[in-house]
Structure 1
Amino acid sequence: MARPRIVIVGAGFAGHQAARTLSRTARGRARITLVNPTDYFLYAPLLPEVATGVLEPRRIAVPLAGSLPGVELVLGQARRVDVKGRQVSVTDPEGREHELGYDRLILSVGSVNKLLPVPGITEHAHGFRGLPEALYLRDHITRQLELADTAEDPAERAARSTFVVVGAGYTGTEVAAHGVLYTADLARRLPRLRREEPPRWLLLDVAERVLPELDPRLSRTAANVLTDRGVRLRLGTSVAEATADGVRLTDGSSVPTRSLIWCVGVRPDPLVDELGLPTERGRLLVDEHLAVPGCPGVFACGDAAAVPDPNRPGEYTPMTAQHAVRQGRLAARNVAASCGQGAMRPYRHRELGFAVDLGGPDAAADPLHIPLAGAAAKAVTRGYHLASLPSNRARVAADWLLGALVPRQTVQLGLVRGSVVPLENTSPETPVLPRSPGDG
């Protein structure tokens, strides 16, 4: 009998874990195909350390070809899924479109930047979802301070030295915590800025505390670290309008700045809506086995799927990496079971706690719901990341060790040409960067 073809769409946390599991358990029994726009799995929790020069970018980019034996990689973006005809339409990096047939399908397309109807956001805000955006942001921050150092106008110098982060969840909190250390380090090396006030960072959120989704004790730890470093917390506040010269806030005040960093959150990939299937807040509804009702052979997991939460009846699991990894593993096992290998299992999980890296010696963590701060939390956080990384552990640990012994490099890589990469044109899957002066 012909081997069934299993197609996995998306190599984020859920898709990569599904592919790894099938590579180990179904290799030789099935033809496994992974569709992804890039040839790597991105370990996104360490993006703030890439953006601030702590880690080299390839440390958190795990090659798909080398880490998934027996899995065929198809580079491209899935544009349409025909669940009746069992076909996936894929556009490759050069714009050519072709069809992939499947017997079983795992949809793990992940999420994209969450945009709000705020004037000027798509034109003037920097997203923070992928490697290109992290590298671009590092260049942008470095350039702004170097230009500020040579600016004769005090107002221009202040605007270029001001950085506004919108969203005080995981990403925004970590970006602000790492970013203020990076700019303080760089400013000390610039002759004019070293004699003035340190660069200013603002963290905005409509919530009343940072990390509103976590235990209040972790929120207090993070808030204390941020305020001790000089980050201004503007809670209960967001952006009403963005321009090239600054932002107007919902409380009526204005902040002159050239740097607006958008970390408001994520939404499921638009491919989910195009399926025409039942959704919950943009996420594809699935049953307890991660199967899509009414679509034989189709499973979904990760940010793209609304998975019933057995610990909270009537609710769905949040969009976190912990859930995505577990769901990817279960989706692979249930797909194998649907092909006659093993039995279907429902989704179950036990919360292990959370970890937030705040840069330098600081972190906030609650492993097994035991709140930690300072060095203990830092050790837990870095240990968790090393354990979760599929590869490159030694290189990441080496970068951390070097970072503790030698100063970080604060140079531009030549990615910045214009003033901004429009937020609407960027995502972790399909990055669009401005051409650098050397591109001809």
Structure 2
Amino acid sequence: MTRPRILVVGAGFAGVECVRRLERKLSPDEADVTLVTPFAYQLYLPLLPQVASGVLTPQSIAVSLRRSKKYRTRIIPGGAIGVDLKSKVCVIRTITDEIVNEPYDYIVLAPGSITRTFDIPGLTDHAFGMKTLAEAAYIRDHVISQLDLADASQDPVERASRLQFVVVGGGYAGTETAACLQRLTHAAVKRYPRLDPGLIKWHLIDIAPKLMPELGDKLGSSAQEILRRRGIEISLGTSIAKAGPEEVTFTDGRVIPTRTLIWTAGVVASPLIATLGAETVKGRLAVAPEMNLPGDDGVFALGDSAAVPDLAKGDGAMCPPTAQHALRQGRHVADNVIASLRGQVMKPYVHKDLGLVVDLGGTDAVSKPLGIELRGLPAQAVARGYHWSALRTNVAKTRVMTNWLLNAVAGDDFVRTGFQARKAARLKDFEYTDAYLTPEQVRAQVEGSGRPE
């Protein structure tokens, strides 16, 4: 008899934790485990703003999946672009654009999320995202290049536009990105004697009435005060009406001359979920508390792309798309896959939220571990301690700690690393949202009656 085939889609927090658990608890001859991911590393997303600001090197938060000598999972370098639940086949586009059909007996869907965009003129053509390692490294090069170009320019209008920066999104990603990059430009401008520091302006805008409402009124107000004290202009109840190559128009009518628009206004589930033709909740796959898909044997989903009931909160709440839930869901779904494989009873997922941490750079932070509100150095210690402990390998922990110590002692450096080519890359160039198939195309590919373009 052939061994059961377990296919895990996605190498984020949820997918990697699931694979690691499966490897530890399954004997080699009990099942074959395959992982689909474009990159053979797990990205620690919460620290991306620190990569963008140069505090951390890119490789320090990219944890290799091949370091373990015991690693026996087969990795397919590519992305899942469709799933045929009836035939139990996942359609994969490899990194060389070859389309292959991968059959499975059990599938774990953890494809994560993509940046949420709206039908705003010029947005995808002129905005940067903050969702991938390449984007973070690219933004760092771009921001430093704006200082270089402004310093060399003789045109005061051009200089002013290059020294204004707009970040859209008042959640954790947007707030930390604005805070960390503002610190970078504030430190860097001292090395540009021809530039007036007063010309450097950062704008943080969000359509919501509060920044990071999950923190509560007091901590949210503290975060706003820290940012305003640094000179970051915060505009709430405001969004983008249109974006151009040299200016951005706000919905309140203001026109800001800028060459830098960073879009972090939330995420949505991976388009892969739409190819299943199954029930969704706000785009996320509706699953049972055991994280299996009702009515489809051997299908599990978790993380950002799954609407997992939050039994700890109750009242029909769904688990938020955070790292702490994804990590625990990964381990739990692996146990349920094994239970299903062995004919045992699956258990529902329950986890009480442990709190939130927001690193604003330097000694500035706000944190709420276990409901306790912290600010300043204590909050910073909790934030960095949490991130450091959550890194999966000792190598990653050593790299991150070394980077933090080096930055604290030697300060920032302002070297462009060469990621920025002469041809600009924007939001649409980093997330391949047009790669996914329709349910009809998936069926045609599986049946061999057609090849998707």
| TM-score interval, normalised by the smaller of the two chains | over 0.9
Aligned twin of 1:185: 187
Q: 1:429 to 1:372 in 2, by over 3 A?
A: farther
Q: Name the SS for the 1:135 alignment partner.
A: helix
Q: 1:364 to 1:429 in 2, by over 3 A?
A: farther
Aligned twin of 2:127: 125
Residue 4 of structure 1 aligns with an amino acid whose one-letter code is: P
Residue 55 of structure 1 aligns with an amino acid whose one-letter code is: L
By how many angstroms is 1:341 displaced? 7.0
* Aligned partner (choices 393, 399, 405) of residue 397 of structure 2: 393
**Equivalent residue runs for 1:133-282 within 5 Å:** 133-193=135-195, 195-197=196-198, 199-282=200-283
**Equivalent residue runs for 1:389-428 within 5 Å:** 389-391=391-393, 392-418=396-422, 420-427=424-431
Residue 147 of structure 1 aligns with an amino acid whose one-letter code is: L
Q: Is the 8 A contact 2:189 2:197 kept in 1?
A: no
Aligned twin of 1:337: 339
Aligned twin of 1:370: 372
Q: Is the 8 A contact 1:352 1:368 kept in 2?
A: yes
Q: Is the 8 A contact 1:163 1:201 kept in 2?
A: yes
Aligned twin of 2:94: 92
Distance in 2 (CA, whole Å) between partners of 1:58 and 1:430 is 28
Aligned twin of 1:361: 363
Q: 1:241 to 1:401 in 2, by over 3 A?
A: same
Q: Name the SS for the 1:395 alignment partner.
A: helix
Q: Is the 8 A contact 1:7 1:104 kept in 2?
A: yes
By how many angstroms is 1:421 displaced? 1.7
Distance in 1 (CA, whole Å) between partners of 2:330 and 2:434 is 22
Q: Name the SS for the 1:188 alignment partner.
A: helix
Matched, 1:16 2:16: yes
Residue 12 of structure 2 aligns with an amino acid whose one-letter code is: G
Distance in 2 (CA, whole Å) between partners of 1:199 and 1:293 is 54
Q: Name the SS for the 1:76 alignment partner.
A: strand
Matched, 1:110 2:112: yes
Aligned twin of 1:71: 73
By how many angstroms is 1:24 displaced? 1.1
Aligned twin of 1:301: 302
State the number of aligned residues.
430
Q: For 1:241-299, what per-residue CA distance to the aligned partner results, in whole angstroms no more than 9, with x for missing partners? A: 10111111111111000000000010000010111111111100100100001110000
Distance in 2 (CA, whole Å) between partners of 1:312 and 1:384 is 26
Distance in 2 (CA, whole Å) between partners of 1:428 and 1:230 is 35
Q: For 1:187-230, what per-residue CA distance to the aligned partner results, in whole angstroms no more than 9, with x for missing partners? A: 1101211x441511000001112112332222112111101111
Q: 1:429 to 1:54 in 2, by over 3 A?
A: farther
Residue 310 of structure 2 aligns with an amino acid whose one-letter code is: D
Q: Is the 8 A contact 2:141 2:418 kept in 1?
A: yes
Aligned twin of 1:26: 26
Q: Is the 8 A contact 2:168 2:262 kept in 1?
A: yes
Matched, 1:57 2:61: no
Q: For 1:335-358, what per-residue CA distance to the aligned partner results, in whole angstroms no more than 9, with x for missing partners? A: 000011754110101110000110
Aligned twin of 2:291: 290
The more displaced of 139-148 and 404-413 is 404-413
Residue 309 of structure 1 aligns with an amino acid whose one-letter code is: D
Distance in 2 (CA, whole Å) between partners of 1:429 and 1:205 is 24
Q: 1:379 to 1:422 in 2, by over 3 A?
A: same
Q: Name the SS for the 2:140 alignment partner.
A: helix
By how many angstroms is 1:418 displaced? 4.3
Residue 14 of structure 2 aligns with an amino acid whose one-letter code is: A
With normalisation by structure 2, the TM-score equals 0.92
Q: 1:64 to 1:245 in 2, by over 3 A?
A: same
By how many angstroms is 1:428 displaced? 8.8
Distance in 2 (CA, whole Å) between partners of 1:386 and 1:98 is 38
Residue 267 of structure 2 aligns with an amino acid whose one-letter code is: V
Aligned twin of 2:314: 312
Q: 1:428 to 1:21 in 2, by over 3 A?
A: farther
Q: Name the SS for the 1:284 alignment partner.
A: strand
Residue 127 of structure 2 aligns with an amino acid whose one-letter code is: A
Q: For 1:357-416, what per-residue CA distance to the aligned partner results, in whole angstroms no more than 9, with x for missing partners? A: 100111110111000010100110111011101021011101100111102221112222
Residue 403 of structure 2 aligns with an amino acid whose one-letter code is: D
The more displaced of 113-122 and 90-99 is 90-99
Q: Is the 8 A contact 2:162 2:259 kept in 1?
A: yes
Q: Is the 8 A contact 2:122 2:242 kept in 1?
A: yes
* Aligned partner (choices 80, 83, 93) of residue 81 of structure 1: 83
By how many angstroms is 1:427 displaced? 2.5
Residue 211 of structure 1 aligns with an amino acid whose one-letter code is: M
Q: For 1:90-110, what per-residue CA distance to the aligned partner results, in whole angstroms no more than 9, with x for missing partners? A: 111111122211111100000
Residue 321 of structure 2 aligns with an amino acid whose one-letter code is: M
Aligned twin of 2:439: none
By how many angstroms is 1:58 displaced? 0.3
Sequence identity (%): 45
Q: 1:341 to 1:56 in 2, by over 3 A?
A: farther
Q: Is the 8 A contact 2:79 2:93 kept in 1?
A: yes
Residue 351 of structure 1 aligns with an amino acid whose one-letter code is: D
- C-alpha root-mean-square deviation of aligned residues, in Å? 1.6
Q: Is the 8 A contact 1:130 1:428 kept in 2?
A: no
Q: 1:188 to 1:198 in 2, by over 3 A?
A: farther
In the alignment, structure 2 segments of 5+ residues that lack a partner are: 436-453
Q: Name the SS for the 1:126 alignment partner.
A: coil
By how many angstroms is 1:185 displaced? 1.1
Residue 210 of structure 1 aligns with an amino acid whose one-letter code is: L
Q: Is the 8 A contact 1:64 1:73 kept in 2?
A: no
Q: Is the 8 A contact 2:160 2:199 kept in 1?
A: no
